[in-house]
Amino acid sequence: MKTSTMMTSAMPRAPVGKAWEEVSASFDRFCLAAGIETLGAMMEADAEVACGPRHSRSEDRRGHRWGRTAGKIGFHAGKMAIERPRVRGLDGKELSLASWEQAVDEDWLGQWAMNLMLINVSTRKFRRAVRLPEGDVPAPAGSGVSKSAASRHFVALSAARMREWMSSDLSKLDLLVVQIDGIHMTGDLVLVAAIGIDGEGVKHPLGLIEGATENAAVVQALIDNLLARGLDPAVPRLFIIDGSKALLKAIRRSFGREALIQRCQIHKARNIMERLPKPMHATVRRVLRQAWELDDANKAEKLIRNLARRLEHDAPGVSASILEGLDEILTVTRLGLPKELRRALACTNIVENVMSTVRRVCRNVKRWRSASMALRWTAAAMQEAAKGFRRLKAHKQLPALRAALKAHQMKSSNHSVLARQADAA
């Protein structure tokens, strides 16, 4: 939220006039009246700068007074009527007053509407949320605190912020990790989001896109957006995804077949447990946990294959599921990362936590009218979640990931050179 840019040089030392008379009636009304009087004094000072003192004919003036006009300015408690001076330039065109323009640009009412809806205050309760019941501040028609007005404020501000976020430059971010996952909003609407982690362990919401399903075309559109905004495909990174084949396909297509992909171990274990009878859960979960914790990828793979072999008789379908995607399951282990960093990067918990914030923010929405509505709400929720982001727990070990990524890139390039030489021979 931008900070106030209101001019302070013209502000009076203390509120005077009618504002002081309101103290005995209501302190809330006093604060409002004092703010209006202060803004009026600032606008009069701006008019004097442009026109000089009243009834003067100074040669350096830029315009002349042209009466007064009524306007409305949005405070957090609603729009308030205020009278402002008008100034015409020497060429006959209207001159703007800096204090008035800055006050209007602040959009306090819109920011309050945005903030309250992100913390689950419904539009029906917006009037009560911004006005104290005992404050005795009137709320006439057109004050901007109705249910529909609050909704319009949220739509306008959330759309503007989403456009700014989805067009932001990513080229300056030193991203080492990208997590991609989807969230089902309705039966036929899925949103796919991307979260990045830079070399300092700082998390960044990267992008969001909608689709009918989490298919390769939708994921590819999200990746294309990230590339267009400056994400360099030549820089080695670790991609963390769930078990979606569409994600795997799109990443390989955009970043090469040698791109490092880690499938979420928590998702994998959960999918296996759901297909097994309860008496087998403890044993299978213990074996998987042992495999995840091993430092040697070959031993971990052998342990998982032995588990799949033991399950061939009792649960042949689960046995095949355990072996599916085994290479991507152990990517962080093959990179030789420290144990704490492996635990942090072996799952999609970061993007899952963001999605939990999305569900919390969107719980008051009863019906998604369109995909654009779902995008606006989800983008606002992701930016809300970013306010509470903390650095990756194992951020001090990220240099080990950078070194492993560079070593993998060098090894892949050498293999490509040897393959081309063999084809040429």
> 3-state DSSP call for residue 372?
helix
- Per-position b or e across 59-98, b if 16+ CB within 10 A of its CB: eebebebbeeeeeebbbebbbbebebbebbeeeeeebebb
Residue 102: CB atoms within 10 Å: 15
Instruction: Say whether pLDDT at 2 is over 90.
Output: no
Mean pLDDT of all residues belonging to the chain: 83
pLDDT class for 392, splitting at 50, 70, 90?
very high
What is the pLDDT averaged over residues 71-97? 80
Residue 27, sorted as left (phi over 0), alpha (psi -120 to 50) or beta, turns out to be alpha
Instruction: Say whether pLDDT at 98 is over 90.
Output: no
Instruction: Say whether pLDDT at 185 is over 90.
Output: no
Residue 230: CB atoms within 10 Å: 12
What is the pLDDT averaged over residues 325-330? 89
Q: Say how far apart CA 33 and CA 15 lie, in whole Å.
A: 9
pTM of the model: 0.79
Percent of the chain with pLDDT over 90: 40
Q: In what order do the strands lie in the sheet with 238-241?
A: 203-211, 189-198, 175-186, 238-241, 260-263
Instruction: Say whether pLDDT at 311 is over 50.
Output: yes
Q: In what order do the strands lie in the sheet with 63-75?
A: 63-75, 78-89, 94-95
Nearest CA to 193 among 177, 210, 176?
A: 210
The pLDDT score that the predictor gives to residue 159 is 92
How does pLDDT run across 191-219, given as a tens digit for each residue? 999 999 999 999 999 999 988 767 788 88
Nearest CA to 31 among 76, 97, 70, 68?
A: 76
What is the pLDDT averaged over residues 80-96? 84
Q: Say how far apart CA 191 and CA 182 lie, in whole Å.
A: 5
How does pLDDT run across 247-297, given as a tens digit for each residue? 888 999 999 888 999 999 999 999 899 988 898 899 999 999 999 999 999
Least confident range of 282-291, 293-302, 314-323 = 314-323
